[in-house]
Amino acid sequence: MGGAASSIVSTELDLAQPDPRHLEAVVALRCAHLAETQPHDAPPTVEHVRRALAGVAAQRNFEVRVAVVWCDGAATGLVEMVSSRKGDNAHLLQVEAYVMPFERRRGVGTRLLEVAVGRARAEERTLLIGTTTERVAAGEPFARRLGARPGLVSLVYEAALAEVDTALLEAWLRAGSERAPDVELAWLGSPYPEDQLASLATVMLAMNDIPLGDLQVGDRTVTPATLRDQDGMQRSRGDERWTLVARRQGGMIVGATETLWNPANPAVLVQLGTVVLREARGRGLGRWLKAAMLERVLRERPEARLVRTDNASQNAPMQAINDALGFRVALTETVWQVEAEVAAEALGIS
């Protein structure tokens, strides 16, 4: 743990065409972050990060800013800031910051948050939210020094695919078709079919029912344009997305689940959200969707060894499904919130 650095400066990236030195800095910082938080994942390459940043730059639903902090000439910190352009949560700036382990307590984190407060003021955002993980112990005390309050505990679950109970999957598949004979499961390709976007967006809006603890956030808007942008960003990263929907006779989508897999990190499959419309709940559709997805993964993703998902600690129904499937808590994360001006005062910003 060293003293204060003699020179700390920040540089914002051009996401569409980043300077090679800036791009290499982002890659090094993301690799270091991943080594601390998800040590079993394959580190990203320069090309992977370049494509991912270009995908972010091309989308229109969110304002995304990325800045690197340099300490005595070396890249030592990274801050990524996201705000909605859709009109929802107009008060909110999402902030994710990381400091290299050997540079902590030297003023780098302070500089990262100064950048974030400046961005919040420029966009007239009044609340900052960000996440800490139990694997980076420095995060929580830093958040508290800013005046931040914990708003939500999020659990990251993992399951070894070789240990998934296939008999349970078969039972859930049978039960799903028996309890909901008016519903069928169908796979959607990538990009999303245009004629399915409106119905799928309506289902994804039901994600707003997920409990968010004490976070001062409002419902998120999901539109066909949102889904197009999401799909574009995923493909720019090289992600292969599988989307499985539950459809009533007549074509109305009442439930969905999605996974992402990337050949650059082949051992890990990411389970995204599983959602069912309120009026269709209580018939086992969530279990049916999850079971059908995992059954296909076991058949067609032999490279994948691990499936990972996250879940708010208050979301008991999804916790029950994950527990039954053999998921175990691998990591606990805390989402913090702080008013921008409270953080500014803590940082000594006038």
In a domain? residue 123: yes
Q: Domain tally for the chain?
A: 2
In a domain? residue 1: no
Residue 336 near residue 132 (C-beta atoms within 8 A): yes
What residues pair up with 217 in beta bridges, in sequence order?
none
In a domain? residue 177: yes
Same domain, 65 and 131: yes
pLDDT of amino acid 3:
62
- HEC string of the chain? CCCCCCCEEEEECCCCCCCHHHHHHHHHHHHHHHHHHCCCCCCCCHHHHHHHHHHHHHCCCEEEEEEEEEECCEEEEEEEEEEECCCCCCCEEEEEEEECHHHCCCCHHHHHHHHHHHHHHHCCCCEEEEEEECCCCCHHHHHHHCCCEEEEEEEEEEEEHHHCCHHHHHHHHHHHHHHCCCEEEEEECCCCCHHHHHHHHHHHHHHHHCCCCCCCCCCCCCCHHHHHHHHHHHHHCCCEEEEEEEEECCCCEEEEEEEEECCCCCCEEEEEEEEECHHHCCCCHHHHHHHHHHHHHHHHCCCCCEEEEEEECCCHHHHHHHHHCCCEEEEEEEEEEEEHHHHHHHHCCC
Same domain, 101 and 206: no
Tokens 């030592």 -> residue:
76
Same domain, 141 and 12: yes
pTM for this entry: 0.93
Tokens 């500089």 -> residue:
111
Low-confidence stretches of the chain (pLDDT < 50) are 1
For residue 45, give the CATH number of its domain.
3.40.630.30
Same domain, 138 and 44: yes
In a domain? residue 321: yes
pLDDT of amino acid 315:
80
pLDDT of amino acid 319:
86
In a domain? residue 2: no
Task: Name the amino acid, one letter, at 122.
Answer: A
In a domain? residue 33: yes
In a domain? residue 176: yes
Same domain, 194 and 131: no
Same domain, 148 and 51: yes
Same domain, 73 and 184: no
pLDDT of amino acid 1:
46
In a domain? residue 160: no
Same domain, 27 and 102: yes
Residue 210 near residue 317 (C-beta atoms within 8 A): no
Same domain, 119 and 27: yes
Same domain, 260 and 298: yes
Same domain, 93 and 234: no
Domain extent at residue 45: 8-155+334-347
Same domain, 134 and 30: yes
